C-alpha cells in the first residue's frame, strides 16, 4: 500500500472517461450535484436523494468493515487510485451511491416533470453503469464488489420507497427532528466498527452523515419559518426550450452557492481543527493525531454538517438577497 504502480495509457478515451466516471461517486460530485438539485430543481427531490444517499452510504461503509473482503491484488491488477486502497472492497460504495442517486432522482422526478420515463431510465442506467465500470477499470473493485454494491442499493431503494413520504414529512414537521438529526448520526459515527489499522471509511462515513445531518436541520428550519422556495425560475425538465434568462439564473445560483459552500468548508475545517489541536495538544502536521476517534469524528462531522446547513439555509437566503429566487 502507498506504492504507485507504473503503467502506460494506451487508450486515452477510456482512461479519461472512467477517471471522470469514478469522480461521479466521490465528494466533488456530491458537493455539487446534490445542492444543485436543491437550488434549481425541486426541494422535495433533493430531500429524498439526500435521505437515500445517507442511509445507503452508511450501510455500505459499515458493510465493508464488517465483511473485510480485500480489494483486488496488485499485481496483476493495476490500481489507478491509492487513497481508497486502504479500505476493504465489498461492497463498492461507488456503485451503491451511483445506483441510489441516479434511480432515486428518476423516481422522485418522473411524476413531477414531463419527460419520457424510458429516457430517464436509460440515463439512470448509463450513469450508474459508467460509475460501476470505472471501479473495474481503475482496479479498485472486483466484478462481485460492484454487482453486490448495485444490488444492495437497489434493494434498499425498494424497501425505503414506500416510506419516503412519511420520512420526509417527519423530518419537516417533527419538533424532535433537529435533535435526532444530530444525535443519531453522531452516535453511529462514534460507534463505527473498529479495525486493526486505520482506514478512511470512518472519516468518509462521518463526512456523509454530517452533511446529511446539517442539510436535514436546514430542511426542518426552512419548513418551520416558511422559507421561500425556488419557484419562479426553476429548471423545468419538461420544457423543450430553456430561455437564456433561466440559464443565467441557474448558473448564477450554482456558482454563488458553490462559492459559499466551499468557503464554509474551508473556514470550518480551519476553525474546528484549530480548536481540536488546542484541546488535545497535537502539532498541526500530526496526521496520526487527526486520525484518532476523538479528533476525526468531531472534525469531520462539524465541518460537513456546517456545509449541509449552509447549502440549505445560508445559500437560499443569499440567493434571495441577490434577487435570484
Task: Tell me which of 43, 94, 169, 319 is the catalytic residue.
Answer: 94
Task: Tell me which of 43, 141, 169, 319 is the catalytic residue.
Answer: 141
**What is the rounded distance in angstroms from the CA atom of residue 310 to the CA atom of residue 296?**
21
**Are the beta carbons of 135 and 92 closer than 8 angstroms?**
yes
**What is the rounded distance in angstroms from the CA atom of residue 192 to the CA atom of residue 171?**
24
**Are the beta carbons of 191 and 171 closer than 8 angstroms?**
no
Q: Is residue 319 among the annotated active site residues?
A: no
**What is the rounded distance in angstroms from the CA atom of residue 69 to the CA atom of residue 237?**
41
CA 83 to chain centre: 17
Distances (CA, A) of 55 to 50, 114, 220, 269: 9, 29, 18, 24
**Are the beta carbons of 27 and 175 closer than 8 angstroms?**
no
Q: Is residue 94 among the annotated active site residues?
A: yes
Distances (CA, A) of 122 to 98, 130, 228, 238, 284: 14, 12, 34, 16, 48
Long-range contacts from 192-201, C-beta under 8 angstroms, 24+ separation: 192/62, 192/65, 193/62, 193/65, 193/66, 195/65, 197/86, 198/86, 198/291, 199/65, 199/86, 199/87, 199/88, 200/83, 200/84, 200/86, 200/87, 201/61, 201/64, 201/65, 201/87, 201/88
The catalytic site residues sit at: 94, 141
Amino acid at each position: 500500500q502507498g506504492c504507485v504502480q507504473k503503467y502506460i495509457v494506451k487508450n486515452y478515451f477510456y482512461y479519461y472517461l472512467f477517471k471522470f466516471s469514478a469522480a461521479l461517486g466521490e465528494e466533488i460530485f456530491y458537493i455539487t450535484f446534490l445542492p444543485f438539485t436543491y437550488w434549481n430543481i425541486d426541494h422535495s427531490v433533493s430531500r429524498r436523494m439526500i435521505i437515500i444517499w445517507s442511509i445507503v452510504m452508511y450501510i455500505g461503509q459499515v458493510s465493508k468493515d464488517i465483511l473485510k473482503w480485500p480489494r483486488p491484488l496488485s499485481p496483476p491488477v493495476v490500481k489507478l487510485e491509492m487513497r481508497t486502497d486502504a479500505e476493504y472492497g465489498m461492497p463498492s460504495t461507488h456503485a451503491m451511491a451511483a445506483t441510489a442517486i441516479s434511480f432515486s432522482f428518476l423516481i422522485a422526478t418522473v411524476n413531477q416533470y414531463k419527460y419520457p420515463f424510458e429516457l430517464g431510465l436509460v440515463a439512470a442506467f448509463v450513469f450508474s453503469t459508467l460509475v460501476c465500470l470505472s471501479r473495474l477499470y481503475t482496479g479498485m473493485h472486483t466484478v462481485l464488489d460492484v454487482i453486490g454494491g448495485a444490488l444492495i442499493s437497489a434493494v434498499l431503494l425498494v424497501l425505503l420507497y414506500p416510506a419516503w413520504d412519511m420520512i420526509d414529512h417527519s423530518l419537516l414537521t417533527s419538533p424532535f427532528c433537529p435533535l435526532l438529526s444530530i444525535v443519531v448520526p453522531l452516535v453511529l459515527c462514534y460507534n463505527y466498527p473498529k479495525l486493526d489499522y486505520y482506514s478512511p471509511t470512518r472519516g468518509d462515513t462521518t463526512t456523509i452523515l454530517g452533511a446529511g445531518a446539517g442539510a436535514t436541520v436546514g430542511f426542518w428550519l426552512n419548513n418551520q419559518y416558511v422559507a421561500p422556495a425556488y419557484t419562479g425560475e426553476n429548471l423545468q425538465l419538461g420544457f423543450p426550450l430553456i430561455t437564456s434568462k433561466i440559464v443565467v439564473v441557474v448558473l448564477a445560483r450554482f456558482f454563488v452557492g458553490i462559492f459559499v459552500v466551499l468557503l464554509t468548508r474551508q473556514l470550518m475545517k480551519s476553525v474546528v481543527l484549530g480548536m481540536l489541536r488546542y484541546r488535545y495538544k497535537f502539532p498541526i502536521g500530526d496526521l496520526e493525531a487527526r486520525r484518532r476517534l476523538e479528533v476525526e469524528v468531531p472534525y469531520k462531522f462539524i465541518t460537513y454538517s456546517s456545509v449541509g446547513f449552509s447549502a440549505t439555509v445560508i445559500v437560499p437566503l443569499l440567493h434571495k438577497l441577490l434577487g435570484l429566487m
